[in-house]
Protein backbone atom coordinates (compact mmCIF):
# COMPACT_ATOMS: atom_id res chain seq x y z
CA UNK A 1 0.00 0.00 0.00
CA UNK A 2 1.02 3.63 -0.26
CA UNK A 3 2.91 5.60 2.37
CA UNK A 4 0.69 8.67 1.91
CA UNK A 5 -2.92 9.62 2.50
CA UNK A 6 -4.07 8.47 -0.96
CA UNK A 7 -4.58 4.87 0.12
CA UNK A 8 -3.49 3.74 -3.34
CA UNK A 9 -1.83 0.37 -3.82
CA UNK A 10 1.40 1.64 -5.40
CA UNK A 11 2.85 -1.82 -6.05
CA UNK A 12 -0.24 -2.77 -8.04
CA UNK A 13 -0.03 0.50 -9.95
CA UNK A 14 3.66 0.02 -10.70
CA UNK A 15 2.94 -3.45 -12.07
CA UNK A 16 1.02 -1.63 -14.82
CA UNK A 17 4.17 0.29 -15.83
CA UNK A 18 7.02 -2.12 -16.64
CA UNK A 19 9.25 0.86 -17.46
CA UNK A 20 9.73 1.44 -13.71
CA UNK A 21 11.80 -1.75 -13.49
CA UNK A 22 14.42 -0.30 -15.83
CA UNK A 23 14.43 3.39 -15.12
CA UNK A 24 13.30 6.01 -12.62
CA UNK A 25 10.98 7.71 -15.08
CA UNK A 26 10.53 11.33 -14.04
CA UNK A 27 9.39 12.62 -17.41
CA UNK A 28 5.63 12.25 -17.62
CA UNK A 29 5.60 15.95 -18.51
CA UNK A 30 6.99 15.03 -21.91
CA UNK A 31 5.33 11.68 -22.50
CA UNK A 32 2.97 9.81 -20.23
CA UNK A 33 3.38 6.07 -20.27
CA UNK A 34 0.07 4.20 -20.59
CA UNK A 35 -0.81 1.49 -18.07
CA UNK A 36 -0.50 -1.95 -19.70
CA UNK A 37 -4.23 -2.57 -19.48
CA UNK A 38 -4.97 0.73 -21.25
CA UNK A 39 -2.41 0.05 -23.98
CA UNK A 40 -4.00 -3.39 -24.50
CA UNK A 41 -7.50 -1.90 -24.69
CA UNK A 42 -6.29 0.72 -27.20
CA UNK A 43 -4.65 -1.89 -29.38
CA UNK A 44 -7.77 -4.06 -29.21
CA UNK A 45 -9.86 -1.10 -30.36
CA UNK A 46 -7.45 -0.40 -33.20
CA UNK A 47 -7.35 -4.06 -34.17
CA UNK A 48 -11.14 -4.31 -34.17
CA UNK A 49 -11.18 -1.84 -37.01
CA UNK A 50 -8.52 -3.75 -38.95
CA UNK A 51 -10.52 -6.96 -38.60
CA UNK A 52 -13.77 -5.42 -39.77
CA UNK A 53 -12.53 -2.89 -42.32
CA UNK A 54 -15.03 -0.33 -43.51
CA UNK A 55 -17.68 -2.56 -41.97
CA UNK A 56 -16.37 -1.43 -38.58
CA UNK A 57 -16.61 2.26 -39.37
CA UNK A 58 -19.77 2.77 -37.34
CA UNK A 59 -18.36 0.98 -34.31
CA UNK A 60 -15.15 2.98 -34.66
CA UNK A 61 -17.09 6.25 -34.67
CA UNK A 62 -19.00 5.11 -31.60
CA UNK A 63 -15.72 4.44 -29.79
CA UNK A 64 -14.50 7.87 -30.73
CA UNK A 65 -17.71 9.44 -29.44
CA UNK A 66 -17.34 7.55 -26.15
CA UNK A 67 -13.83 8.97 -25.89
CA UNK A 68 -15.24 12.46 -26.44
CA UNK A 69 -17.95 11.93 -23.79
CA UNK A 70 -15.44 10.69 -21.24
CA UNK A 71 -13.12 13.60 -21.93
CA UNK A 72 -15.92 16.17 -21.74
CA UNK A 73 -17.09 14.75 -18.40
CA UNK A 74 -13.53 14.79 -17.06
CA UNK A 75 -13.13 18.44 -18.04
CA UNK A 76 -16.61 19.49 -16.88
CA UNK A 77 -17.35 20.62 -20.42
CA UNK A 78 -20.24 19.83 -22.75
CA UNK A 79 -19.49 17.20 -25.34
CA UNK A 80 -20.45 19.71 -28.05
CA UNK A 81 -17.60 21.93 -26.88
CA UNK A 82 -14.91 19.31 -27.50
CA UNK A 83 -13.13 18.95 -30.85
CA UNK A 84 -10.93 15.85 -30.94
CA UNK A 85 -7.43 16.59 -32.18
CA UNK A 86 -4.10 14.79 -32.40
CA UNK A 87 -2.31 16.91 -29.82
CA UNK A 88 -2.35 20.21 -27.98
CA UNK A 89 -0.50 21.95 -30.82
CA UNK A 90 -3.38 21.24 -33.21
CA UNK A 91 -5.63 23.28 -30.94
CA UNK A 92 -3.21 26.21 -30.81
CA UNK A 93 -3.01 26.31 -34.60
CA UNK A 94 -6.78 26.13 -34.96
CA UNK A 95 -7.08 29.20 -32.75
CA UNK A 96 -4.17 31.17 -34.26
CA UNK A 97 -5.48 30.63 -37.77
CA UNK A 98 -9.18 30.70 -36.91
CA UNK A 99 -9.48 34.02 -35.09
CA UNK A 100 -10.34 36.66 -37.66
CA UNK A 101 -7.12 38.61 -37.34
CA UNK A 102 -7.34 42.37 -37.98
CA UNK A 103 -4.36 44.52 -38.92
CA UNK A 104 -2.64 45.87 -35.84
CA UNK A 105 -4.14 43.31 -33.46
CA UNK A 106 -1.89 42.12 -30.66
CA UNK A 107 -1.64 38.79 -28.91
CA UNK A 108 -0.36 38.61 -25.35
CA UNK A 109 1.59 35.47 -24.48
CA UNK A 110 3.29 34.41 -21.28
CA UNK A 111 7.08 34.46 -21.28
CA UNK A 112 7.20 30.70 -20.61
CA UNK A 113 5.62 29.18 -23.69
CA UNK A 114 6.42 25.89 -25.38
CA UNK A 115 7.23 25.95 -29.13
CA UNK A 116 3.74 24.54 -29.67
CA UNK A 117 2.48 28.01 -28.77
CA UNK A 118 5.45 30.17 -29.72
CA UNK A 119 5.94 28.87 -33.23
CA UNK A 120 2.35 29.28 -34.47
CA UNK A 121 2.11 32.78 -33.00
CA UNK A 122 5.52 33.85 -34.31
CA UNK A 123 4.68 32.44 -37.72
CA UNK A 124 1.47 34.48 -37.71
CA UNK A 125 3.43 37.70 -37.18
CA UNK A 126 5.59 36.80 -40.20
CA UNK A 127 2.52 36.67 -42.41
CA UNK A 128 0.22 39.30 -40.94
CA UNK A 129 0.34 42.74 -39.42
CA UNK A 130 0.18 41.34 -35.92
CA UNK A 131 2.29 41.88 -32.85
CA UNK A 132 3.20 39.64 -29.94
CA UNK A 133 3.58 40.96 -26.41
CA UNK A 134 4.71 38.92 -23.42
CA UNK A 135 4.03 38.86 -19.68
CA UNK A 136 5.92 37.05 -16.94
CA UNK A 137 4.28 34.27 -14.99
CA UNK A 138 4.83 35.20 -11.34
CA UNK A 139 5.56 33.01 -8.35
CA UNK A 140 2.05 33.81 -7.03
CA UNK A 141 -1.34 34.34 -8.75
CA UNK A 142 -1.37 37.98 -7.61
CA UNK A 143 1.99 38.64 -9.21
CA UNK A 144 0.88 37.00 -12.46
CA UNK A 145 -2.37 38.97 -12.56
CA UNK A 146 -0.47 42.20 -11.96
CA UNK A 147 1.85 41.34 -14.85
CA UNK A 148 -1.12 40.58 -17.12
CA UNK A 149 -2.83 43.87 -16.25
CA UNK A 150 0.34 45.79 -16.97
CA UNK A 151 0.87 44.09 -20.33
CA UNK A 152 -2.64 44.49 -21.76
CA UNK A 153 -3.02 47.25 -24.34
CA UNK A 154 -6.07 48.62 -26.14
CA UNK A 155 -5.00 46.49 -29.13
CA UNK A 156 -4.78 43.18 -27.26
CA UNK A 157 -7.09 40.84 -29.12
CA UNK A 158 -6.25 37.57 -27.44
CA UNK A 159 -4.28 36.34 -24.43
CA UNK A 160 -2.64 32.93 -24.77
CA UNK A 161 -0.87 31.16 -21.94
CA UNK A 162 0.03 27.74 -20.67
CA UNK A 163 -2.19 26.77 -17.77
CA UNK A 164 0.88 25.01 -16.37
CA UNK A 165 4.26 26.15 -17.64
CA UNK A 166 6.44 23.45 -19.15
CA UNK A 167 9.47 25.53 -18.13
CA UNK A 168 8.91 25.96 -14.39
CA UNK A 169 5.70 24.06 -13.62
CA UNK A 170 4.05 27.31 -12.47
CA UNK A 171 0.26 27.18 -12.54
CA UNK A 172 -1.37 30.29 -14.05
CA UNK A 173 -4.53 31.62 -12.33
CA UNK A 174 -6.64 30.69 -15.35
CA UNK A 175 -10.04 31.62 -13.98
CA UNK A 176 -8.92 35.07 -12.86
CA UNK A 177 -7.10 35.70 -16.15
CA UNK A 178 -10.18 34.64 -18.13
CA UNK A 179 -12.42 36.97 -16.10
CA UNK A 180 -10.01 39.89 -16.50
CA UNK A 181 -9.89 39.39 -20.27
CA UNK A 182 -13.59 38.75 -20.68
CA UNK A 183 -14.53 42.04 -19.05
CA UNK A 184 -12.27 43.79 -21.57
CA UNK A 185 -13.56 41.84 -24.57
CA UNK A 186 -10.26 39.98 -24.99
CA UNK A 187 -10.31 36.32 -26.06
CA UNK A 188 -8.36 33.71 -24.09
CA UNK A 189 -6.57 30.53 -25.10
CA UNK A 190 -5.19 28.24 -22.41
CA UNK A 191 -2.70 25.53 -23.23
CA UNK A 192 -3.52 22.74 -20.81
CA UNK A 193 -0.99 20.22 -22.15
CA UNK A 194 0.60 20.08 -18.69
CA UNK A 195 -2.59 20.59 -16.68
CA UNK A 196 -4.94 17.82 -17.81
CA UNK A 197 -4.54 14.92 -15.37
CA UNK A 198 -2.57 16.91 -12.77
CA UNK A 199 -5.47 18.44 -10.84
CA UNK A 200 -9.26 18.74 -11.26
CA UNK A 201 -10.31 20.86 -14.22
CA UNK A 202 -13.65 22.55 -14.73
CA UNK A 203 -13.41 24.33 -18.07
CA UNK A 204 -16.90 25.81 -17.78
CA UNK A 205 -15.95 27.37 -14.46
CA UNK A 206 -12.59 28.68 -15.73
CA UNK A 207 -14.55 30.60 -18.30
CA UNK A 208 -11.91 30.91 -21.04
CA UNK A 209 -12.88 30.88 -24.71
CA UNK A 210 -10.49 28.15 -25.89
CA UNK A 211 -8.59 25.45 -24.02
CA UNK A 212 -6.30 23.04 -25.78
CA UNK A 213 -4.83 19.87 -24.31
CA UNK A 214 -3.72 16.33 -24.91
CA UNK A 215 -4.28 12.89 -23.45
CA UNK A 216 -0.72 11.64 -23.90
CA UNK A 217 1.02 13.34 -20.99
CA UNK A 218 -0.47 13.36 -17.47
CA UNK A 219 -3.58 11.49 -18.56
CA UNK A 220 -1.29 8.58 -19.59
CA UNK A 221 -3.45 7.96 -22.65
CA UNK A 222 -2.82 6.98 -26.28
CA UNK A 223 -0.18 9.01 -28.12
CA UNK A 224 -1.61 11.28 -30.78
CA UNK A 225 -4.82 12.17 -28.94
CA UNK A 226 -5.83 15.63 -27.85
CA UNK A 227 -8.68 18.09 -27.83
CA UNK A 228 -9.65 21.69 -28.35
CA UNK A 229 -12.35 22.99 -26.05
CA UNK A 230 -14.34 25.81 -27.63
CA UNK A 231 -16.76 27.46 -25.26
CA UNK A 232 -20.26 27.26 -26.67
CA UNK A 233 -20.78 30.99 -26.91
CA UNK A 234 -17.30 31.46 -28.42
CA UNK A 235 -17.84 29.01 -31.28
CA UNK A 236 -18.39 31.74 -33.85
CA UNK A 237 -15.18 33.52 -32.82
CA UNK A 238 -13.27 30.82 -34.72
CA UNK A 239 -13.43 30.04 -38.42
CA UNK A 240 -12.49 26.43 -39.24
CA UNK A 241 -9.07 26.40 -40.93
CA UNK A 242 -9.48 22.95 -42.46
CA UNK A 243 -12.76 21.59 -43.69
CA UNK A 244 -13.82 18.25 -45.12
CA UNK A 245 -16.09 15.29 -44.49
CA UNK A 246 -17.37 15.59 -40.95
CA UNK A 247 -17.10 19.39 -40.75
CA UNK A 248 -20.65 20.15 -41.77
CA UNK A 249 -23.05 19.80 -44.69
CA UNK A 250 -24.24 21.64 -47.76
CA UNK A 251 -26.87 24.28 -47.13
CA UNK A 252 -29.89 24.64 -49.41
CA UNK A 253 -27.95 27.34 -51.26
CA UNK A 254 -25.10 24.90 -51.90
CA UNK A 255 -22.60 26.46 -49.48
CA UNK A 256 -20.83 24.71 -46.63
CA UNK A 257 -22.69 24.98 -43.36
CA UNK A 258 -20.34 24.01 -40.52
CA UNK A 259 -21.79 21.97 -37.63
CA UNK A 260 -22.93 24.05 -34.70
CA UNK A 261 -20.58 22.16 -32.36
CA UNK A 262 -16.81 22.02 -31.91
CA UNK A 263 -16.82 19.01 -34.25
CA UNK A 264 -16.78 21.59 -37.05
CA UNK A 265 -13.01 21.61 -36.48
CA UNK A 266 -12.73 17.90 -37.34
CA UNK A 267 -12.55 16.43 -40.82
CA UNK A 268 -11.59 13.25 -42.64
CA UNK A 269 -10.77 9.73 -41.47
CA UNK A 270 -9.51 9.29 -37.92
CA UNK A 271 -7.64 6.66 -35.99
CA UNK A 272 -10.85 5.75 -34.13
CA UNK A 273 -9.22 3.14 -31.89
CA UNK A 274 -6.96 5.71 -30.31
CA UNK A 275 -9.94 7.68 -29.04
CA UNK A 276 -11.40 4.43 -27.70
CA UNK A 277 -8.16 4.36 -25.69
CA UNK A 278 -9.04 7.79 -24.31
CA UNK A 279 -12.18 6.31 -22.81
CA UNK A 280 -10.16 3.34 -21.51
CA UNK A 281 -7.58 5.51 -19.77
CA UNK A 282 -10.18 7.77 -18.20
CA UNK A 283 -11.97 4.68 -16.87
CA UNK A 284 -8.63 3.45 -15.52
CA UNK A 285 -8.20 6.73 -13.62
CA UNK A 286 -11.74 6.59 -12.28
CA UNK A 287 -11.06 3.02 -11.15
CA UNK A 288 -8.18 4.29 -9.00
CA UNK A 289 -9.98 7.46 -8.00
CA UNK A 290 -8.53 10.58 -9.58
CA UNK A 291 -8.70 12.49 -6.32
CA UNK A 292 -6.52 9.83 -4.75
CA UNK A 293 -4.04 10.16 -7.60
CA UNK A 294 -3.89 13.92 -7.05
CA UNK A 295 -3.19 13.33 -3.34
CA UNK A 296 -0.39 10.96 -4.33
CA UNK A 297 1.19 13.34 -6.84
CA UNK A 298 1.02 16.22 -4.40
CA UNK A 299 2.61 14.09 -1.69
CA UNK A 300 5.48 13.03 -3.95
CA UNK A 301 5.98 16.59 -5.15
CA UNK A 302 6.16 17.90 -1.56
CA UNK A 303 8.48 15.06 -0.62
CA UNK A 304 10.77 15.96 -3.50
CA UNK A 305 10.72 19.72 -2.93
CA UNK A 306 11.46 19.40 0.80
CA UNK A 307 14.64 17.54 -0.08
CA UNK A 308 15.60 19.50 -3.18
CA UNK A 309 15.20 22.87 -1.48
CA UNK A 310 17.37 21.63 1.40
CA UNK A 311 20.31 21.03 -0.96
CA UNK A 312 22.80 23.88 -0.81
CA UNK A 313 23.65 25.42 -4.15
CA UNK A 314 20.58 24.15 -6.02
CA UNK A 315 18.19 26.72 -7.48
CA UNK A 316 14.54 25.66 -7.59
CA UNK A 317 12.55 27.61 -10.18
CA UNK A 318 9.10 26.29 -9.23
CA UNK A 319 6.82 27.84 -6.59
CA UNK A 320 6.89 25.83 -3.36
CA UNK A 321 3.08 25.61 -3.03
CA UNK A 322 1.11 22.94 -4.85
CA UNK A 323 -1.77 25.32 -5.63
CA UNK A 324 0.58 27.61 -7.56
CA UNK A 325 2.38 24.80 -9.33
CA UNK A 326 1.97 21.17 -10.30
CA UNK A 327 3.79 17.84 -10.15
CA UNK A 328 6.69 19.32 -12.12
CA UNK A 329 9.69 20.82 -10.39
CA UNK A 330 12.45 22.61 -12.28
CA UNK A 331 15.89 23.13 -10.80
CA UNK A 332 19.37 24.12 -11.90
CA UNK A 333 22.82 24.01 -10.38
CA UNK A 334 24.72 27.24 -11.03
CA UNK A 335 27.96 26.42 -12.81
CA UNK A 336 26.79 22.95 -13.83
CA UNK A 337 25.43 22.34 -17.31
CA UNK A 338 21.83 21.12 -17.30
CA UNK A 339 22.56 19.04 -20.40
CA UNK A 340 25.53 17.30 -18.80
CA UNK A 341 23.59 16.62 -15.64
CA UNK A 342 20.72 15.17 -17.66
CA UNK A 343 23.02 12.80 -19.57
CA UNK A 344 24.90 11.65 -16.54
CA UNK A 345 21.70 10.83 -14.69
CA UNK A 346 20.21 9.04 -17.66
CA UNK A 347 23.21 7.13 -18.92
CA UNK A 348 25.02 6.32 -15.68
CA UNK A 349 22.12 6.03 -13.25
CA UNK A 350 18.95 5.20 -15.25
CA UNK A 351 17.17 8.33 -14.01
CA UNK A 352 15.17 10.18 -16.66
CA UNK A 353 14.55 13.91 -16.22
CA UNK A 354 13.95 16.53 -18.91
CA UNK A 355 16.36 19.30 -19.88
CA UNK A 356 15.03 22.83 -19.45
CA UNK A 357 17.23 24.99 -21.67
CA UNK A 358 15.61 28.23 -20.51
CA UNK A 359 17.23 27.88 -17.06
CA UNK A 360 20.08 25.54 -18.01
CA UNK A 361 18.50 23.03 -15.69
CA UNK A 362 16.23 20.01 -15.50
CA UNK A 363 12.61 19.25 -14.76
CA UNK A 364 11.36 16.44 -12.54
CA UNK A 365 7.85 15.07 -13.09
CA UNK A 366 6.45 13.14 -10.15
CA UNK A 367 3.72 10.88 -11.47
CA UNK A 368 1.42 8.53 -9.60
CA UNK A 369 3.74 5.54 -10.19
CA UNK A 370 6.91 7.21 -8.89
CA UNK A 371 8.07 6.44 -5.37
CA UNK A 372 9.81 8.05 -2.43
CA UNK A 373 12.71 5.60 -2.95
CA UNK A 374 13.22 6.85 -6.49
CA UNK A 375 13.23 10.42 -5.21
CA UNK A 376 15.72 9.53 -2.45
CA UNK A 377 18.00 8.01 -5.09
CA UNK A 378 17.76 11.12 -7.26
CA UNK A 379 18.50 13.40 -4.33
CA UNK A 380 21.54 11.37 -3.33
CA UNK A 381 22.79 11.63 -6.92
CA UNK A 382 22.44 15.41 -6.75
CA UNK A 383 24.50 15.76 -3.55
CA UNK A 384 27.89 15.93 -5.31
CA UNK A 385 26.53 18.47 -7.81
CA UNK A 386 25.22 20.68 -5.05
CA UNK A 387 28.66 20.70 -3.45
CA UNK A 388 30.39 21.79 -6.65
CA UNK A 389 27.99 24.67 -7.28
CA UNK A 390 29.64 28.05 -7.37
* Interface positions with ligand PLP (CB under 6 A): 30, 87-89, 114, 116, 162, 166, 191, 193-194, 214, 226
Report the C-alpha gap between 159 and 190 in whole angstroms.
8
Which CB sits closer to ligand PLP, 4 or 271? 271
Taking alpha carbons only, the member of 206, 372, 207, 199 closest to residue 293 is: 199
Query: Which DSSP helix (H) or strand (E) runs through 153?
Result: none
Shortest Å, Cβ 191 to ligand PLP: 5
- Are 217 and 193 in contact by the 8 Å Cβ rule? The answer is yes
Which CB sits closer to ligand PLP, 156 or 212? 212
Shortest Å, Cβ 62 to ligand PLP: 25
Taking alpha carbons only, the member of 95, 91, 202, 236 closest to residue 158 is: 95
Which CB sits closer to ligand PLP, 122 or 349? 122
Shortest Å, Cβ 91 to ligand PLP: 8
Which CB sits closer to ligand PLP, 365 or 371? 365
Shortest Å, Cβ 120 to ligand PLP: 11
Instruction: Please enumerate in sequence order all residues whose Cβ is within 8 A of that of 88, keeping only pairs 6 or more positions apart, or say none.
Output: 116, 191, 192, 193, 212, 213, 214, 226
What is the SS3 assignment for 190? strand
- Are 226 and 213 in contact by the 8 Å Cβ rule? The answer is yes
Shortest Å, Cβ 102 to ligand PLP: 26
Which CB sits closer to ligand PLP, 168 or 370? 168
Which CB sits closer to ligand PLP, 2 or 330? 330
Q: How many CB atoms lie within 10 A of CB 167?
A: 24
Strands 226-230, 210-214: parallel, antiparallel or unpaired by DSSP?
A: antiparallel
Report the C-alpha gap between 338 and 319 in whole angstroms.
20
Shortest Å, Cβ 116 to ligand PLP: 4
- Are 256 and 250 in contact by the 8 Å Cβ rule? The answer is yes
Amino acid sequence: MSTDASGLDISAIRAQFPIVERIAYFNTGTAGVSPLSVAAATWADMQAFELDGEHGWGAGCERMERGREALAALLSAQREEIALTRNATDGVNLVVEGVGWRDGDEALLSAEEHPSMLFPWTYLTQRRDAKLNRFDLGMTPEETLGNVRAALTPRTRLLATSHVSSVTGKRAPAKEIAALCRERGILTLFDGAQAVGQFPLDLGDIGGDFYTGNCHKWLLGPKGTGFLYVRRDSLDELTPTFVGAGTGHFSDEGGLEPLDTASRFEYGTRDFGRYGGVEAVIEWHHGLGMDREFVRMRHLTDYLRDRLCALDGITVHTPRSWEDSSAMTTFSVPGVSGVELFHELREDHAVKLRIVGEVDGNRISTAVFNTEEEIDRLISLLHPYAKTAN
